[in-house]
Amino acid sequence: MSTSFTKIARFLFFLVITAFLNFHTTLARRLIQATTNYSLVLGLRHSRTTLLTPKSLSVGSSAKVQSESFAMMEPLRAVRDGYLIPLYLGSPPQVIQVYMDTGSDLTWVPCGNNLSFDCLDCDDYRDNKLTAAFSPSHSSSSARDLCSSSFCIDIHSSDNYIDPCAMAGCSLSNLVKSSCSRPCPSFAYTYGAGGVVTGVLTRDTIRVHENIDVSPNLTREISNFSFGCVGSSYREPIGIAGFGRGTLSLPSQLGLLRKGFSHCFLPFKFANNPNITSPLVIGDLAVLSGHEENLQFTPMLKSPILYPNYYYIGLEAITVGNSSSSEVPLSLREFDSHGNGGMLIDSGTTYTHLPEPIYSQLLSTLRSVISYPRAQDMEMRTGFDLCYEIPYTINSNNKTSREDLDFLPSITFHFLNNASLVLSGGSHFYAMGAPSNATVVKCLLFQSMEDSDYGPAGVFGSFQQQNVKVVYDLEKERIGFQPMECVSAAVSHGLDDRKP
């Protein structure tokens, strides 16, 4: 009898343990699903519509290696460069490619059709196949946003909710009663590089799909997404997804801006490659990666006066190679009483911009430590301030020798809170053309900051963010950096469709 009791006891114990484990397994799955539901993993396709795109060479044993090692031969003009996100707008969905921009809030798309959308000073982009336009008349769910909506007030930068409705022509009695239902007036939205877009604020259904090789893929859908339906623009040929901190931004309207987001930009040699994309993680998983020990965080500065929805960091010093660090102007570390200063981190600006005198000091330091011949003809053609003829060799296995990577000194940015970032190879000097006579011309892709007395003192551009995981931790008001091979990150997220 004791033996039977023991067996029954063991059986009951087994049932309890099984139930306990099943409960915790189910709970864990639900927690994972809950976490996943607050995150999206997207692939950013890097697009360059003009220059610095690696040329396709004739078929040969070293063609692939060479094409990944150098780029354009044309004189430098305005380059439209960025990382594209596909948006599915309307009912039925229309697929529109837009640039990710951390330096703005508004999400806008070209509207009408490819003939009616008017882009001024965009001659270089007329043949750009990415310029698809959204047609509101072909969407059963499209409607103009109202003048009384918070988004309309935001786009018109109004502190008085009555202003947009007054602009729309509402009567005083309706304004007082807050009963005006007129459409939001047309807007003009400007960008730091001089671009301007004009249009109307529109609401429609938007869907953002995860494009990773994981099943099931997640889709975020909003039925009343507010965006700019742009009929004309100046120097802005393709739509933009604003990733700023304002209510109009894409992640804010998706409800995924509570934690933050992260991205890892692939090197420029992968530009226009449809088979591999840069990871963009929006939501909880962007910050809760479990690898914080490998990230160096710097505080996120916030200007309460100018551009409060931008992402600012403080730059303390710049080091070239093993030389002593050069302190930067105070304006790059903090704001003045008018809200000017700080270093803007911006995915929508290609090259890093530095103010004087630190920009000239950087050029002087580089000239003192680099002994290779200057390529002044390339400097004249491109407008970059420092170009060199660098030794270039190909080893016996038809693979580019890595020796040339060591010919140029490293550049390290030192941010507030002792956070340092060594710029990856190829993200400061870049090959301007094909090798010739065992040399290749490389130019420093930094630029001087103009009008730095107003607004940001400097800009940390996307070119210098290659092969770096950048984490926007909005909950803790900080930005993290971790150098890494973004190709590996793309593979780990299922964003690599290249054939082996």
Whichever domain contains 200, its CATH number is 2.40.70.10
Average pLDDT of the segment spanning 206-219:
66
Same domain, 343 and 262: no
Last residue of one domain, picked from the residues 254, 283, 312: 283
What are the backbone dihedrals phi and psi of residue 259, each rounded to the nearest 5 degrees, phi first?
-90, -50
- State the pLDDT confidence band at 394, using cuts at 50, 70 and 90: low
Same domain, 306 and 176: no
State yes or no: pLDDT of 221 exceeds 50: yes
Same domain, 268 and 344: no
Average pLDDT of the segment spanning 140-160:
92
Same domain, 83 and 118: yes
Q: When comparing pLDDT for 185 and 381, which is higher?
A: 185
Same domain, 172 and 262: yes
State yes or no: pLDDT of 128 exceeds 60: no
Q: When comparing pLDDT for 404 and 490, which is higher?
A: 490
State yes or no: pLDDT of 5 exceeds 50: no
Judged by average pLDDT, the poorest of 28-37, 203-212, 319-328 is: 28-37
pLDDT at residue 384, as a whole number: 92
Report yes or no on 181 lying in a domain. Answer: yes
* Token output for 19: 């139930």
Same domain, 364 and 450: yes
The CA distance from 307 to 336, in Å, is: 14
Q: When comparing pLDDT for 65 and 350, which is higher?
A: 350
Same domain, 342 and 423: yes
- State the pLDDT confidence band at 406, using cuts at 50, 70 and 90: low
State yes or no: pLDDT of 409 exceeds 50: yes
pLDDT at residue 38, as a whole number: 66
Last residue of one domain, picked from the residues 224, 255, 283: 283
Same domain, 267 and 343: no
Same domain, 333 and 369: yes
Indicate the number of domains in the chain.
2
Could you tell me the residue range of the domain that residue 158 belongs to?
Answer: 71-283
